[in-house]
Amino acid sequence: MTMDSTGSSFPAPLSSPVVAPTDPALPSKACRDCQTLKPLTAFGPHRNRADHRSPYCRECASAYMRRWREENPEAHAKIQRKYLMRRKLRSIASE
Q: Closer to Zn ion at the Cβ: 34 or 85?
A: 34
Cβ count near 56 (within 10 Å): 20
| Residue 41 · residue 23 · CB < 8 Å | no
Q: Closer to Zn ion at the Cβ: 33 or 69?
A: 33
CB of 5 to Zn ion, least distance (A): 47
Contacts of 31 (CB under 8 A, 6+ apart): 38, 42, 43, 55, 56, 57, 60
CB of 56 to Zn ion, least distance (A): 6
Q: Closer to Zn ion at the Cβ: 33 or 44?
A: 33
CB of 64 to Zn ion, least distance (A): 9
Contacts of 32 (CB under 8 A, 6+ apart): 55, 56, 60
CB of 47 to Zn ion, least distance (A): 20
Q: Closer to Zn ion at the Cβ: 65 or 85?
A: 65
| Residue 42 · residue 55 · CB < 8 Å | no
Residue ranges binding Zn ion (CB under 5 A): 31, 33-34, 57, 60
